[in-house]
Amino acid sequence: MIAFLVEPLDYEFFRRGLLAALMIGTLCGLIGVFVVLRGMSYIGHGLSHAAIGGAVVGITLNLNFYVGACAMGLLATLLINRVTQNNQIKLDAAIGLVTTAMFALGVAIISKLRHFRQNFEAALFGNILGISDQDLIMIGGITTITLVTIFFIYKPLLFLTFDHDAARVFGIKTGLVQIIFSFLLTFSVIASLNVVGVTMVAATLIAPAMTARMLTNSFSRVIVYSMIIGAMTGIVGMYLSYIFNVASGTTIVLFGTILFCLSLLISALRKNMRPIKF
């Protein structure tokens, strides 16, 4: 069994991928709790599409993949915040329009310049084999920055997530906290692109949080459980990807979904096992 687990570690691409998946799982587990509880589950999907549009524009302009992706992701975040500010446009509609328009721009450029096709497919479904030192540094940096920032803004962010209107009365600078969180979310989505791919980012973000929610009613525990589940999903997903020789994004998402189904089962069993009160 140990040999079975150790054997893939002989390959450098697997070690890199495993480390990347571990960090991305932890990162998405943390950010995902706030995404799910704020009813923004669609945002991961939208932002990843906008980022890809931005990456393509960036490469066309001879810039780094991440520069274009970050620029377009942040622009999308700011536009979504601006469009939804006066409550006339709902969040889901704003995400749908803004991010799809940016993705469409990327697709239009790809259609014009055919040589993008191969990289584009890797970005869609995840390319764990291609994780470079630069990618690892970027993922590590974003994970560290996000963990530290969430640590410092935990209390106002929790208040804002739970009770937005009361948070303002209690003196929280809701606009500032919202912008900080949006930036962290955008960076997290971009960091996840190479590991799980555009099409799988949304599920990677929300699955650990949904699973953790089924296991506890305490917010602080949901955060801890979700990070552990996210990290575990990343590691197991990577091994499954190696064993079955399929894209890492798919195995990470499928394993995350299996864990969620198990948590549903555990939750149902717990309810049935509660003593009946007369």
Partner 1 sequence: MQAISFNVDSDSAIKLHNVTAGYERNIVFSDLSLEITSGQFAGIVGPTASGKSTLLKIILGTHPVMSGAIHLSTRSIEKAPPRTIGYVPQLDSVDWSFPITVEEVITMGLHDSGRIWPWPSRAERNRVNELASRLGVYDCLRQHIANISGGERQRAFLARALINNPRLLVLDEPTSGVDIKTQHEVLHLLGDLNSEGITVLLTTHDLNAVASHLPWVICFNKGIVAQGRPYDIFTNEILTKTYGGDIVIVKYDGHFLIANSTPLHFRDRHP
Residues lying near partner 1 in the complex (CB under 8 A): 37, 151-152, 154-156, 158-159, 162-163, 165-166, 168-172, 213, 216-222
Report the residue number, 117 or 164, with the smaller CB distance to partner 1: 164
Hey, CA dihedral for 142, 144, 145, 151, is it positive or negative?
positive
Report the residue number, 18 or 207, with the smaller CB distance to partner 1: 207
Report the residue number, 4 or 171, with the smaller CB distance to partner 1: 171
For the bound state, the minimum distance from the C-beta of residue 148 to partner 1, rounded and expressed in Å, comes to 11
Report the residue number, 75 or 228, with the smaller CB distance to partner 1: 228
3-state secondary structure of 277: coil
For the bound state, the minimum distance from the C-beta of residue 160 to partner 1, rounded and expressed in Å, comes to 10
Report the residue number, 20 or 229, with the smaller CB distance to partner 1: 229
For the bound state, the minimum distance from the C-beta of residue 208 to partner 1, rounded and expressed in Å, comes to 14
For the bound state, the minimum distance from the C-beta of residue 1 to partner 1, rounded and expressed in Å, comes to 35
CA distance 175 to 253: 32
Please name the amino acid found at residue 106.
G
Report the residue number, 121 or 163, with the smaller CB distance to partner 1: 163
Report the residue number, 36 or 254, with the smaller CB distance to partner 1: 36
Q: Which residue from 189, 198, 212, 218 is spatially nearest to 260, judged by alpha carbons?
A: 212
For the bound state, the minimum distance from the C-beta of residue 38 to partner 1, rounded and expressed in Å, comes to 10
For the bound state, the minimum distance from the C-beta of residue 32 to partner 1, rounded and expressed in Å, comes to 13
What secondary structure does DSSP assign to 116-147, as a single string? Answer: GHHHHHHHHH--GGG--HHHHHHHHHHHHHHH
For the bound state, the minimum distance from the C-beta of residue 91 to partner 1, rounded and expressed in Å, comes to 15
Please name the amino acid found at residue 74.
L
For the bound state, the minimum distance from the C-beta of residue 174 to partner 1, rounded and expressed in Å, comes to 9
Beta-carbon count within 10 A of 264 CB = 13
User: Cα 74 to the chain's mean position, in Å?
Assistant: 15
What secondary structure does DSSP assign to 219-247, as a single string? Answer: HHHHHHHHHHHHHHHHHHHHHHHHHHT--
Burial of 178 (0-12, 13-18, 19+ CB in 10 A): middle
Q: Which residue from 225, 146, 144, 215 is spatially nearest to 186, judged by alpha carbons?
A: 146
Report the residue number, 15 or 90, with the smaller CB distance to partner 1: 90
Tally of residues, the chain:
278
Of the chain, the end-to-end C-alpha distance in Å amounts to 50
Cα 27 to Cα 146, 263, 270: the distances in Å are 8, 20, 29
